[in-house]
A and B are shown apart, each in its own frame.
Chain A
Amino acid sequence: MTPLLPVIVPFGAAAISLALGRRHALRRSLGVLALVANLVASVLLLQEVRDGSVVTVVVGDWPAPIGISVVVDLFSAIMLSVASLMLLAVFVYAIGSSRTDDTTLFFHPVYLLLASGVSASFVTGDLFNLFVAFEMTLVCSYVLITLGGSKPQVRHGTTYVVISLLASTLFVTAVGLVYAATGTVNMADLAVKLQAIDPALREALSVLFLVVFGIKAAIFPLFFWLPDSYPTAAAPVTAIFAGLLTKVGVYAIVRSQTLLFSQDTHSTLLLATAALTMTVGVLGAIAQDDVKRILSFHIVSQIGYMIFGLGLFTVAGLAATVFYVVHHILIKTTLFMVGGLIEERTGTAALRRLGGMLHTSPFLAALFLIPALSLAGVPPLSGFVAKLTLIQSGLEVGAYMTVSVALFVSILTLFSMTKIWAGVFWGAPEAPPPMPEGLESSRPRFPPLMVGSTAALVAASLLFVVAAAPLYQLGQRAAEFLFEPAQYVEAVLGP
Chain B
Amino acid sequence: MIDRSLILQMTADVIIRTAAVFALFLLFRGHNAPGGGFVAGLVVVSGLVIRLVASGRVRARQSLPAPPATIMGLGLALALATGIAGWVWGDAFLEAAKVTLDVPLLGEMHMTSALLFDIGVFMVVIGVGTALVLALAETENGP
Contact = CB atoms under 8 A, between A and B. Distances in A.
Nearest to A19: B73
B80 interface: yes
B94 A16 contact: no
Contacts of A105: 69
Contact of B73 (A2, A17, A59, A60): A17
A52 interface: no
Interface stretch (A4-12, A320-328, A355-363, A457-465): A4-12
A21 B76 contact: no
A16 B73 contact: yes
A233 interface: no
A210 B18 CA distance: 50
B92 A61 contact: yes
Interface stretch (B35-43, B46-54, B83-91, B98-106): B83-91
Interface string B62-96: 00000101101111110010011011001111111
Given A11-B76, A14-B76, A15-B76, A2 B93 contact: yes
A58 interface: yes
B84 A8 contact: yes
A105 B72 CA distance: 12
Contacts, number: 60
A18 B69 contact: yes
Nearest to A11: B80
Interface size class of B (residues with CB under 8 A): 20 to 34
B90 to A, nearest CB: 7
Contact of B92 (A11, A15, A21, A58): A58
Interface in A83-111: 105-106, 109
Contact of A109 (B67, B73, B75, B80): B73
B92 A106 contact: no
Contacts of B74: 15, 19
A234 interface: no
Contacts of B90: 61
B91 A61 contact: yes
Nearest to A20: B73
Contacts of A2: 87, 93
Contacts of A58: 92
B80 A15 contact: yes
B141 to A, nearest CB: 19
B80 A8 contact: yes
A7 to B, nearest CB: 9
Contacts of A120: none
Contacts of A18: 69-70, 72-73, 76, 127
Contacts of B80: 8, 11-12, 15
Interface in A17-62: 17-21, 57-61
A61 B95 contact: yes
B77 to A, nearest CB: 4
Q: Which residue among B69, B80, B84 has the maximum number of chain A CB atoms within 10 Å of its CB?
A: B69
Contacts of B86: 60-61
A484 B117 CA distance: 38
Nearest to B77: A15
Interface in A55-90: 57-61, 67
Nearest to B96: A60
23 contacts: A2-B87, A4-B93, A8-B93, A11-B76, A11-B80, A12-B77, A12-B80, A15-B73, A15-B75, A15-B76, A16-B77, A17-B73, A18-B69, A18-B70, A18-B73, A19-B74, A21-B69, A59-B94, A60-B86, A61-B91, A61-B92, A105-B69, A109-B69
